[in-house]
Amino acid sequence: MDGTVVGEIAEPGLLVLLGVTHGDGAAEVSWTARKIWGVRILRDERSASDVDAPVLVVSQFTLYGDARKGRRPTWSAAAPGDVSEPAYDAVCAELEALGARVSRGVFGADMQVASVNDGPVTLVLDSP
């Protein structure tokens, strides 16, 4: 990007790095949005829905990188853009339908993402 800020939250909230794999569909989208909105990871064991915390969602195919062999990771577990972009949009839309104030990155863009990790708390949420 050219330094333009496209998505941000200016108050305590959640930064979601969202990876999509080949088998992810409507059920995974719905589960993921509900889990993000309801998981109790904020102060005093509260969820984003409890305190109306904003959510910044950034697409992140590299979460499915596999570096177990060799010196170069493979991205074969990450869904291609024609699968992952609609899933990304659907998670954001589902969060909004649940009442979340959602800010987004730019799908597929080379972005600089800054975060202040309060806690720190970082979780991997993987649908059942």
pLDDT (tens, 9 = 90+) of the chain, 128 residues, equals 577 888 888 899 999 999 999 999 999 999 999 999 999 999 999 999 999 999 999 999 888 999 999 999 999 999 999 999 999 999 999 999 999 999 998 888 888 888 888 877 888 999 88
Active-site residue, selected from the candidate residues 21, 32, 60, 107: 60
CA count, 13 A, side-chain hemisphere, 128: 3
The backbone region for 49, taken as left when phi is positive above 0, alpha when psi lies in -120 to 50, beta otherwise, is: alpha
d(CA 15, CA 113) in angstroms, rounded, equals 10
- pTM for this one? 0.90
Active-site residue, selected from the candidate residues 4, 21, 32, 62: 62
Active-site residue, selected from the candidate residues 61, 74, 112, 122: 61
Q: How far is CA 60 from CA 20, 50, 110, in A?
A: 8, 26, 10
**112 is known as an active-site residue:** no
Query: How many other C-beta atoms are found inside a 10 Å radius of the C-beta of residue 81?
Result: 14
Helix (H, G, I), strand (E, B) or coil at 67: coil
Domains of the chain: 14-104 (3.50.80.10)
**107 is known as an active-site residue:** no
**62 is known as an active-site residue:** yes
d(CA 126, CA 119) in angstroms, rounded, equals 21
